[in-house]
A and B are shown apart, each in its own frame.
Chain A
């Protein structure tokens, strides 16, 4: 498995990563459609922090001793067998927010409805993470371990 990494001083704070994350996790995968029809259903799984001086994009770090997995009461949060990525099976998630309580990076977010959680899945299905692919300044990059 690889990791998404960030270069702290390169981030412009443009938030394109957030937008492309939304699109990548929408049903339509189309930017316009997803913003008109699905806006209330999807949450970006990457979050741009901005202190005024610097900005920085945070998403799940795919910990090898993931506190969210240890705390998950439903068994929804799990290591994907092949890659070891930390994934949430939203069909099993009950929205108890134990993972939100323990993630040291604050990278597990509540879905819009608040019923299940939403987190980075490394875009495993499509290959390259959408946030990395669309970062205009290469502040985000993907590195195989």
Chain B
């Protein structure tokens, strides 16, 4: 056993971990920082693996921070070492590579794990998840080696769609299997769904909705197709599962830290155990637009939470009021941005929308109690951020509701006080 003492210990080496370290260093230049990361690579950006797979970026572009990041920030980084146990009472973490690390402040930023269903054939060659750099590498090699012509992506959420985009770019014919009535079910509405379906059909992508894969068809452990629960069979050489990600709370649970839909944290990102913080995909957050506690597994939230945790760990004071679900995704080259709660249409919801079927342009804004709660833009997404900003700041739009989807809508249309805030820049005091 190798013993290490550190002031700050970070578990994980991705979005939340990196932004936490940067925040710690903004306040505390001296305190020792150690990091334990299961993956061997320097910090890279997970959302880029689909771009890497289809060759639109090089491996060099995967890195989220420059090579000298760890040195410049004086981080003792144990890369390729998995944390096995948190001993909260003794402020100690043990690793798979044999370190015993005692800390004063701990951040758990271990993210999530992809879900694999327990179905016959799931261990066959040709079945993948798409979650890490290594996954992307394995998928790429497999496509080359097996000369994959036909693939099935199971799950039509954000990650499934990104996988689809990459496979299409590689010239692999790809079907998508989705349990819900349409792909991207939580971030599209019926109208946007129709536009997307048409685009997919035009590009020859088959979507199998309302069903799921019940069996991987394989001979000698080599995949040759899938069977759906409606008994239909699809021939394919490769299957990628993207049916969801579960927060990786095991370490926290075993340590007696409270969990729900992720590790439960205060608005200072501190867990039920003082001195132990958590941030990113591993946490449960408050959804600002629906008021519900849930797991928000998105990059901007991970970054923000990491930042808030880091500031507080280093003795500062910062709060995280909650997050907003937001996605920017492209389906067969069709850009889509969906922010907030675009499903929650109740009696008290006002809906403003515009559809231009010929050019596949669709815009919709949902307003509840004079506040924007969701926006959904398809194929013309310029300046959507103006609405996102208003959602975040909870701006009263009663005076400008008629302007919301006009050509002139912009910064000039914003209520005066808020406009001043926007023009002066976020974080800049007026």
Contact = CB atoms under 8 A, between A and B. Distances in A.
B273 to A, nearest CB: 27
A61 B425 contact: yes
A23 interface: no
A52 B48 contact: no
Interface in B49-65: 51, 56-57, 61, 63-65
B303 A71 contact: yes
A87 interface: no
B326 interface: yes
A74 B65 CA distance: 9
Contacts of A103: 383, 385-386, 389
Contacts of B381: 97, 100-101, 110
B347 interface: no
Interface string A71-115: 101110000000000000000101011111111111011100010
Interface string A107-142: 011100010000000000000000000000000000
Interface stretch (B132-140, B209-217, B247-255, B407-415): B407-415
B45 to A, nearest CB: 5
A39 B286 CA distance: 46
B304 A70 contact: yes
A50 B386 CA distance: 16
Interface string B335-356: 1010100000000000000000
Contact of A92 (B61, B384, B411, B424): B61
B335 A97 contact: yes
Contacts of A61: 422-426, 428
Given A97-B337, A98-B299, A73 B411 contact: no
A56 B24 CA distance: 39
Given A75-B64, A94-B57, A105 B385 contact: yes
A106 B427 contact: no
In the complex, which of the residues A70, A101, A102 has the most CB atoms of chain B within 10 Å of its own CB atom? Answer: A101
Contacts of A104: 385-386, 388-390, 392-393, 422, 426
A110 B413 CA distance: 21
Contacts of A3: 425
A58 B424 contact: no
Interface string A41-53: 0000001011110
Nearest to B65: A75
Interface in B272-321: 299-300, 303-304, 307
Interface residues of B, number: 44
Contact of A105 (B45, B64, B326, B422): B422
B382 interface: yes
Given A75-B65, A94-B57, A105-B423, A56 B328 contact: no
B47 interface: yes
A144 interface: no
A62 B326 CA distance: 22
Given A61-B423, A101-B337, A106-B411, A70 B47 contact: no
Contacts of B45: 73-75
Contact of B410 (A6, A74, A94, A106): A106
A54 interface: yes
Nearest to A52: B408
A9 interface: no
Nearest to A47: B410
Interface of B: 19, 45, 47-48, 51, 56-57, 61, 63-65, 299-300, 303-304, 307, 326, 328, 335, 337, 339, 381-386, 388-390, 392-393, 408, 410-413, 422-428
Given A94-B57, A100-B382, 17 more contacts: A51-B413, A63-B425, A63-B428, A65-B427, A67-B385, A73-B45, A92-B61, A97-B381, A99-B385, A101-B326, A101-B337, A102-B326, A104-B385, A106-B386, A106-B410, A109-B382, A110-B381
